[in-house]
Chain A
Amino acid sequence: MLFIEAHNISKSYSKTLAISDISFDVKKNELYGFIGPDGAGKTTLFRLLTTLLLPNSGTISINNWDVVKDYKTIRKNIGYMPGRFSLYQDLTVEENLTFFATIFGTTIKENYDLIRDIYVQIEPFKTRMAGKLSGGMKQKLALCCALIHKPELLVLDEPTTGVDSVSRKEFWEMLQNLRNSGITIVVSTPYMDEASLCDRVALMQNGKIMQINTPQGVISKFPKPLYAIRSDDMYLLKNELVNYIDCESVHIFGQNLHYTSKSKVLNVNNLTLFLEEKNHTGISISPINPSIEDCFIALMTENSTSDAK
């Protein structure tokens, strides 16, 4: 069953086209990710979904409610966590939660089951001002506030931006638990590694969706065999690979360079010889599976000819 249906939506701010003719659908009980850098249009899109902005063209429905006609119903039935920390800094943890429960006509007690696993982690600090919490705790409180009225849909705009790698992993575990308990979740992130934790992802760049797929589906569409290459001098290695006659792309990925060749199959012996002639030592070349980030870079490169300024 489709829960969100968006058809050909566009949105511009004076001259700037923020969202350019995009369409997608989200199934009930799906954990759906919009993956892309700043400026891709994620926040604009989420404001359209949450009825805070009107599209210039196109239609969006949530649970068959129209974002223009039925905005009041939609607002009662969704939980929205905006990108910027949106809670009252001068209220305590508990006061913030009570406030959000009250404006949605409910109480903390009534829906405590839903937030228990998350709230127990911040409960020891319930009398602390929200503004005095660390990044990871602020994010947990914001999630509790978005959940307290038991929404059918959670819309989370970059909940993990600026959050350390440990807290990010914990946050995604919480999202997967919530999805398993029946809530539909739409989430955006600039961190490519988080895409693999979604059921489906839309890869966004410059107001457009480059691809919609399952994380595995995105990876299986990567056009070429990918290799991890390293040597004892990574800095020189990259410059030399760029100039190698059969090189199609080379990008640094942590401790390795990720490489694709122009020819269908990489001739490992030839490349090894080439690097040995350049006096590289500790050369290692091995096939690897692409990550979402590899796929994103490949899609960006494919599209860059049309976007070149």
Chain B
Amino acid sequence: MQSNEPVIVVQNLVKKFGNFVANDNLSFEVYPGEVFGFLGANGAGKTTAIRILCGLSRPTSGKVMVGGFDANTESEKIKTNIGYMSQKFSLYDDLTVRENIRFYAGIYHIPYNIIKTRTNDLLQKLGLEHARDKLIHDIPLGWKQKLAFSIAVFHEPSIVFLDEPTGGVDPITRRQFWDMIYEAAHRGITVFVTTHYMDEAEYCNRVSIMVDGKIADLDTPNNLKTKHNAANMDEVFQKLARGRKY
């Protein structure tokens, strides 16, 4: 974790849907190369905030800067400068491994000759050369998730958003996935991740916990545990989220 200019700046973010306040005055910063855990109870407003950070929705009020671009006025620039992956949607089942890579790389305007060399490097690194022409539908889930992550950072974005990337994944692959997250963070890519596995909250540099539209607390896992007198992150989460409204 480095301490230079923040790559995400959120100041007094408010998002309303009619009378319902989904994000109630959020403020936080995320730094380059940081693994930032964005936790919260269901319905706490995480998805709303992530959609704004990814340039898919606009704040009702407040300032949101992502990778130096303003979510109010430059959402298209945000989209080209970030990577995104979720458990629910990542790769196209009816395209092959190579076609998926080419498709996503093409969307981000990577020149064809670079796509070609990087594809070979990537497949070699993942040990997937033999599966290059297999349909995504036919490869095991563990490989799929690792490939999806690699594709999300293929264009070397400054930030990658991971929305429950390890849901339903077996315990060994889950840990290999976190090795890949650390490696990306080490290369300077900022990782913004949500998860329902509380052991994974321990692997983040800092963790924010949302309850009822607000950030209930934000700190390093160690500081959170000390502050809330908890043995692990699950206890911290239970203490903060037990009294939620939604």
Interface string of B167-197 (1 = CB under 8 A from A): 1111111010010001000000000000011
Nearest CB of chain B from residue A192's CB, rounded to whole Å: 6
Query: Does any Cβ of B come within 8 Å of A134's Cβ?
Result: yes
Contact B182 A169 (CB under 8 A): no
A297–B172 CB distance below 8 A: yes
| Given A135-B43, A166-B41, A252:B170 Cβ within 8 A | no
| Most chain A beta carbons < 10 A, residue from B167, B173, B199 | B199
A256, closest chain B residue (CB): B202
| Residue total for A at the interface (Cβ-Cβ under 8 A) | 32
Shortest C-beta distance, A86 to chain B (Å), equals 17
Residues of B within 8 A of A205 (CB): 170
Cα–Cα distance between A254 and B171 once the two chains are bound (Å):
12
How near does chain B come to A309, taking the closest CB pair, in angstroms?
A: 8
Which positions 234-259 of chain A face chain B at CB distance < 8 Å? 235, 251-255
The answer to whether A254 and B182 touch (CB under 8 A), given A37-B168, A293-B171, is no
Known contacts: A37-B141, A300-B171. The answer to whether A162 contacts B233 by CB under 8 A is no
Q: Contacts A39-B141, A164-B196 hold; do A135 and B42 have CB atoms under 8 A apart?
A: yes
Q: At the interface, yes or no: A296 with Cβ under 8 Å from chain B?
A: yes
Instruction: Confirm or deny: B154 has a beta carbon within 8 angstroms of a beta carbon on chain A.
Output: no
* CB-defined contacts of A164 to chain B, threshold 8 Å: 40-42, 196, 237, 241
Q: Interface 1/0s, chain A 249-283, versus B by CB < 8 A?
A: 00111110000000000000000000000000000
Docked-complex contact A300 and B170, CB < 8 angstroms: yes
A38, closest chain B residue (CB): B168
Q: A181 contacts which chain B residues (CB < 8 A)?
A: none
Known: A164-B41, A166-B244, A255-B232. A38 touches B237 (CB 8 A): no
Chain B interface size, under 10 / 10 to 19 / 20 to 34 / 35 or more = 20 to 34
Residues in B with CB closer than 8 Å to A137 are 43
Task: Provide the residues of chain B in CB contact with A151, threshold 8 Å.
Answer: none
| A136 interfacial contact with B, CB 8 Å | yes
With beta carbons under 8 angstroms apart, the residue of A165, A252, A297 that contacts B237 is A165
Is A174's CB within 8 Å of the partner chain B?
no
Asked if B43 and A254 sit within 8 Å, CB to CB, the answer is: no
> Cβ of B233 and Cβ of A254 under 8 Å apart?
yes
- Whether the pair B182, A235 counts as a contact (CB closer than 8 A) is yes
**Distance A251 CA – B168 CA, assembled complex (angstroms):** 18
What chain B residues lie within 8 Å of A290 (beta carbons)? Answer: none
Of residues 22 through 64 on chain A, the ones whose CB sits less than 8 Å from some CB of chain B are 36-39
B241 proximity list for chain A (CB < 8 A): 164-166
